[in-house]
Amino acid sequence: MNYLLLILTFIITLGARSQYSGLPITLSIPYDQDTIEETEPTFVWQANLEAIQSDPRLTQQIVVAEIAEDQTPSEAIALNVPVFIRQELQTNSIAYSSTDYEMLKNVWYAWQVSYVFNGTVVQQSEVWKFINAEEIPARPSYLTMRKQEDGSIFLFSGTVLNVCLSERPEVTYAVRLRMPDGSYEQPSFTELINDQPISEENPSAYSDTRFFSIDLTNITAAGAYTLELISSDNQSHVLTFQRN
């Protein structure tokens, strides 16, 4: 009797595998090789919810595993202890819970969703990976200086103006600012390399582009200003901006 029951269970499972293996599972979010910043991401995928909700024997399972060095995402899912697993899912999304395992920064994770019929996996999605990376600070933007005034006017409302120009590294510069009333000021400025001030610890390196940070903290009046960078060989670069 037990032998017949085992055969019957095998036949039913085999039939279910054939029936549901044709129903694809497509992962959506996080994207494959995506970089996320949240510690409790929401996983989203596409599945046949009609089949799942109409057959109580059919459910879904999601598995998330840490990817070790030199492992593929598929190997991580197959071999590693999951850091997050949820079974008997009836929807196509779920939020990660850090109560199971706190997701580490700068570590790759693999995830996969499966159909489970009476405790047996009958269909699986691809295995995708993502990384929970440290937030990358935004790099400052730079306005390009002109070799002569061309009528371009940029709106500016901050206290530090970052500019760049193409010039040889041995050329030195002085800065002056033409005020709306025609007078001139000499704001302080700093040359940058890799977004940091050039110093003994951060020396200049050869580059076709020079970067400068102009301190406009004390320039608050509304109007049009023209910034001039005058080189040691009497070449001038200009940039006109409007402060409202």
Sign of torsion, CA 227 230 234 235?
A: negative
pLDDT of 235 reads 83
Q: Which of 89, 109, 132 is the last residue of a domain?
A: 132
- Provide the mean pLDDT of the chain: 84
**Residue 4 confidence class, pLDDT cut points 50, 70, 90:** very low
Q: Are residues 45 and 119 in the same domain?
A: yes
Q: How confident is the model over 123-135, as pLDDT tens digits?
A: 899 999 999 887 6
Does 200 lie in the same domain as 128? no
14 pLDDT above the threshold of 60: no
pLDDT given for residue 207 in this prediction: 66
Is residue 39 one of the residues assigned to a domain?
Answer: yes
Residue 95 and residue 193 share a domain = no
> What is the reported pLDDT for 240?
94
136-141: average pLDDT: 75
Listed residues 98, 132, 166: the one ending a domain: 132
Q: How confident is the model at residue 241 (pLDDT cuts 50, 70, 90)?
A: very high
Structure tokens at 221: 């009046």
Percentage of residues of the chain with pLDDT beyond 70: 86
- pLDDT > 90 fraction of the chain, expressed in percent and rounded: 44
| Structural domain of 160 | 143-243
Q: What is the pLDDT of residue 8?
A: 45
Burial of 65 (0-12, 13-18, 19+ CB in 10 A): buried
Residue 171 lies in a domain: yes
Q: Mind listing the pLDDT tens digit for each residue in 72-114? A: 999 999 999 999 999 998 889 999 988 888 889 889 999 999 9
Give residues with Cβ within 8 angstroms of 51, minimum separation 6: 20, 23, 58
Position 7 pLDDT exceeds 50: no
Provide the 8-state DSSP code for 146: B
Whole-prediction pTM value? Answer: 0.53
- pLDDT tens digits for range 188-235: 999 988 888 887 666 666 567 889 999 999 988 999 999 999 988 888
Confidence category of residue 17, pLDDT binned at 50, 70, 90? low
Q: What is the pLDDT of residue 10?
A: 44
Tell me how many domains the chain contains: 2
Residue 167: per-residue pLDDT = 73
Domain boundary among 72, 102, 132: 132
Q: Is residue 17 part of a domain?
A: no
Q: Are both 148 and 196 inside the same structural domain? A: yes
How far from 224 is each of 194, 220, 238, CA to CA, in Å?
A: 30, 11, 13
Q: Is residue 1 part of a domain?
A: no
Q: What is the edge-to-edge ordering of all strands in the sheet holding 196-197?
A: 143-144, 160-166, 209-215, 189-193, 196-197
